[in-house]
Amino acid sequence: MLDNYLVSLLIATPLAGALLTLALPDNRSLLQKFTIGVLLLEAVWCVFLLQGYHTQDPALQLARSIDWITLDLGQLGRVSVDYATGVDGLNLALVVLAVFVLTAGAVSSWVITAKPKTYYSLYLLLSASIIGCFVAQDFFLFYLFFEFMLLPMYFLIGLWGGDRREYAALKFFIYTFAGSLFILVAMIGLYLSAIDPAETAVLLGLIPDTSSATPQVISSVQSLLAGSDIPPEKLVHTFRFEYLADKANYIPGSLLHADSAAVLGGIPLRTIAFWFLFAGFAVKLPIVPVHTWLPDAHVEAPTPISVVLAGILLKVGGYGIMRIVDGFFPTEAFAFSVPLALLAAISIVYGGFNALAQYDLKKMIAYSSVSHMGFVVLGIAAFNAEGFNGAIYQMVSHGVLSSMLFLIAGVIYERAHDRRIDHYKGLIHAMPNYTVMTGIAFFATLGLPGFSGFVGELFTLMGGFGASQIPAWIPALSVLGIVLAAMYCLWTYQRMFFGTFWYNGDETVLSDLSAKEVALFAILAVSTLVLGIFPNLVFNTSQATVHFWLELLKNR
């Protein structure tokens, strides 16, 4: 019985927690413990989710669909919006990652002292929005969660950030809001062009309700649609992913029908819609040249929000490209796989060079995120099993590693209020435990075998080299990103931690990690090690769906 509500509980639990925080006393310790408790309950739901998930079944599982909004528009047909959720191999690992990272962010929120009630309420709202994005199976529902993420993140940066927090929060909001407008335009075009064959069958009187919609009934409605034998007022327009992804559900002559001759400025509308969707998710990822909001947001955001931003929020962009961009426009995605792979390679190399040039530790980590998320796009552009599985794994790996890296930056900043790499030397003498944890994070980030960073980069590069449509020089260029990662990680590590102890300030503030900091870092370090040694923990959840997904894309 619980299985029917598990996915919904993942959304409802933090939403309820956000409301309950408003009723609690304005006590920082109590509010943090409550928030951690809510997210630990989310972890319990994830355990049940994993137990109820069948790894060999590629289809959507633990799915739930409820009619939410139905609006009769007369001759324009009917609007149908469903509360539709579910998990499969494309999103299961990311849901688990989201709960893991959000819990780590909540634990590290001991640095937040001002307005704790507002902070933790917004944090739980953000948690619900992120998880909602991953599990939504209706484009309208997905877009609501996608947009709603902006609001709590804007305030979390703008109220608890650094000296230039207002600028960083505004830049984050403008970039991501502009990207979401591109998605909105494409979403409206898709809605106008496609129908829900099950609800259309009900409206036509072929079946009494949608639960009676057999494959034969769906096929009959699609045949009637192809022959233009359904009156416009009997068409039920939809936002459901499963229907938008099937070209047989598109109205002949509509804007985004596969055979549509509609153009704008000489460019087919389907091509424009494809690039609109890609641009919207590329901003969130982010990909060069729409990445400039990320370093500013990271530098000014408080440490736990940087953890969430890099650890999970960016992955919504990668997931959106895989599920929505490729899912709805597979022909265009394959046709433009070379420019997409080239954009990925540029991001990998450009992000690496910028990270190498930074003296601010947080900015260096931010640009490394731009570089490492480029591997995700490279894997998706490859359009093969190695690339897709590698992209999912890379998102999970980067989620763990970037969380650890930003916590490392937060430790030194909380003690010295100084992130300049060249202001520290020989920290191994004053902070030996901190040195060990930083070394693990850096070596895992540069792709040392045995850690998760190696596996993600390996499989995305294998996908790139194995893709017949992508010239070999593009993934070869991307290999330079691994070299650059080794350079900026090792340069920073050698500069800050080895040699004679020296700090450009009061050396007494540089105390080693506390017990709770050691515990948090140890969990993250063990996680990247376990994922590196047992990558099938991720691949087992994704590979069946990825093979099924690729076959669907090739046949559409």
Q: Domain range spanning residue 439?
A: 336-556
> In this structure, is residue 532 part of a structural domain?
yes
Using the predicted structure, report yes or no on whether residue 263 has a pLDDT greater than 90. Answer: no
> In this structure, is residue 340 part of a structural domain?
yes
Instruction: Name the DSSP letter for residue 325.
Output: I
- Crossing angle of helices 385-416/515-533, nearest 10°? 170
Helix (H, G, I), strand (E, B) or coil at 89: coil
Give the angle 35-134-188 at the CA atoms, nearest 5°: 125
Q: Is 64 exposed, middle or buried (0-12, 13-18, 19+ CB in 10 A)?
A: middle
Q: Please enumerate in sequence order all residues whose Cβ is within 8 A of that of 129, keeping only pairs 6 or more positions apart, or say none.
A: 145, 146, 148, 149, 152
φ/ψ of 238, rounded to 5, equals -140, 160
Q: Are 407 and 307 in contact (CB under 8 A)?
A: yes
Each residue of 424-454: pLDDT tens digit?
999 999 999 999 999 999 999 999 999 999 9
Each residue of 340-368: pLDDT tens digit?
999 999 999 999 999 999 999 999 999 99
State how far the Cα of 215 lies from the Cα of 228, in Å rounded to an integer.
20
Q: Are 474 and 465 in contact (CB under 8 A)?
A: no
Q: Which of 14, 7, 3, 141 is nearest to 83 (CA)?
A: 141
The torsion of the CA quartet 281, 284, 285, 290, rounded to 10 degrees, works out to 90
> In this structure, is residue 444 part of a structural domain?
yes
Q: Please enumerate in sequence order all residues whose Cβ is within 8 A of that of 381, keeping only pairs 6 or more positions apart, or say none.
A: 337, 338, 340, 341, 344, 387, 464, 467, 470
State how far the Cα of 247 lies from the Cα of 70, in Å rounded to an integer.
23
pLDDT at 1: 60
Q: Which residue is it, tokens 């895992």?
A: 444
Percentage of the chain exceeding pLDDT 70: 100
Each residue of 375-415: pLDDT tens digit?
999 999 999 999 999 999 999 999 999 999 999 999 999 99
H helical segments located in 227-292: 241-244, 269-284
State how far the Cα of 94 lies from the Cα of 135, in Å rounded to an integer.
10
How many domains does the chain divide into?
1
> In this structure, is residue 321 part of a structural domain?
no
* Average model confidence (pLDDT) across the chain: 93
Using the predicted structure, report yes or no on whether residue 2 has a pLDDT greater than 80. Answer: no
Each residue of 71-94: pLDDT tens digit?
888 888 889 899 999 999 999 999
> In this structure, is residue 487 part of a structural domain?
yes
Each residue of 464-497: pLDDT tens digit?
999 999 999 999 999 999 999 999 999 999 999 9
> In this structure, is residue 69 part of a structural domain?
no
> In this structure, is residue 465 part of a structural domain?
yes
> In this structure, is residue 431 part of a structural domain?
yes
pLDDT at 11: 96
